Amino acid sequence: MVVELLETRFEHNGAYAFATGRIRALEAKLLTRAHYQRLLDAPDAGEAWRALAELGYATVAERRLDEYEDVLTGELRRLYALVAALVPDPERLVWLARRYDFHHIKVYLKAKLLGEDPRAGVLDGVGTVPPKLIEASVNTGVWSALPLELAEAGERALRAYESTRHAQMIDIIVDQGLFGYLRRATLGHPFAETLVAIWVDLLNLKTLVRAKLMGKDRAFASRVLVPGGSLEDSRLLALMDAAIETWAEELRHTPYSPVLSRGLASLAEKKSLTLLEKLSDDFVMDFLRRAKLALYGAEPLIAYVFAKETELKNIRIILVGKLNGVAPETIAEHLREPYV
């Protein structure tokens, strides 16, 4: 069944009453479109950096602009420390942080197999497993120190790369492991289950777009799909036999048709998937905003985590754009929709 976004079910768990109240107060401090415009209007990256200090990022005042990655990673660490302190049953939301462990599996596999520098992709102190432990497991091939789902994803990705020599298989196999884990971790929690299904649907659609552009066939597509979405595999695979410009119409009765319509039109015009990526993230944010309707429960915490992560992504986009002399209007095209 295609994801139904019109009826969002909330758990109304009273144990989260205090946490929900705290999150509501923090939501009011999230950056708005007006705040992002102020950063965009700054004449250079230095001025944008100083403006951040006035918008609630106090640590910015103590750090240099060239340390912005460390500052943003520090904000992520504080975010997850906050969640751990607020959640009455920490294991319930451990999947939020575990996503970064899968990210680090990718980073270290690519460092080992492709010679990429892992430093830019490692987020120290973020996740549930120390990155150095993941690095050691990847480099030695001894996976027993890692949680089973991480070990299995790493081993499978390594074998897939060794048999195909295609770098993209690292991302594909690790993502399959990640979303298999997320489906199990969120089972029985409607809001989180729907969120994961949306992620899977959008990931599969973007993967198929790339496969189509590369001239791949249905057999390849069937191997790279991630299970667990609301769109049936047969329906997705049928897209591979259709012209890509017809995909939005093929999926006209699904919530994803507008994303494909605009995203693929931009692809045809600009030869870029940038808008499709942005619209996919915005679609997720639109769903997350439904958590504002929850009186109390885990949903507001889940939504706040992604709202803050999106904010940090937007700040990075603005700073990197300004450091590279990109025009403000071009930077703005890449910004994701804020939660507030």
* Residues 286-339: tens digit of each pLDDT: 999 999 998 889 999 999 999 999 999 999 999 999 999 999 999 999 999 999
In the predicted structure, residue 90 carries a pLDDT above the cut 90 = no
Higher pLDDT, 158 or 6: 158
Is residue 4 pLDDT above 90, yes or no? Answer: no
- State the CB neighbour count (10 A cutoff) for residue 7: 7
Predicted local confidence at residue 2, as pLDDT: 56
Q: Residue 209, SS3? A: helix
Is 95 within the bounds of a domain?
yes
Confidence of residue 7 (pLDDT cuts 50, 70, 90): low
128 found inside a domain: yes
Tell me if 118 is assigned to some domain: yes
| C-alpha span between 81 and 95 (Å, rounded) | 14
Q: Global pTM?
A: 0.94
* pLDDT of the residue at 6: 44
Is 141 inside a domain boundary?
A: yes
Asked whether residue 65 is domain-assigned, the answer is: no
Whether residue 145 lies inside any domain: the answer is yes
Query: How confident is the model at residue 11, as a pLDDT?
Result: 76
Statement: residue 1 has pLDDT above 80:
no
Query: Percent of the chain, pLDDT > 70?
Result: 98
Count: domains in the chain: 1
pLDDT given for residue 235 in this prediction: 95
Judge whether 166 lies within some domain. Answer: yes
Q: What is the pLDDT of residue 298?
A: 94
Asked if pLDDT for residue 182 goes beyond 80, the answer is: yes
So what's the pLDDT on residue 14? 85
Residues 149 and 156 sit within 8 Å (Cβ to Cβ)? no
Q: Average pLDDT in the 241-260 region?
A: 96
At residue 281's C-alpha, the angle toward residues 331 and 167, to 5°, is: 90
Whole-number Å distance between alpha carbons of 112 and 138: 8
pLDDT digits (tens, 9 = 90+) for 106-121: 999 999 999 999 998 9
**Structural domain of 160:** 90-185
As a whole number of angstroms, the distance between CA 157 and CA 176 comes to 10
Is there a domain that residue 117 lies in? yes
pLDDT at 12: 76
pLDDT at residue number 159: 95
Closest CA to 247 of 282, 211, 278, 220: 211
Q: Taking residues 269-286, report their average pLDDT.
A: 97
Q: Report the share of the chain in percent with pLDDT over 90.
A: 93
Q: What average pLDDT is seen over the chain? A: 94
Per-residue confidence (pLDDT) for residue 303, from 0 to 100: 97
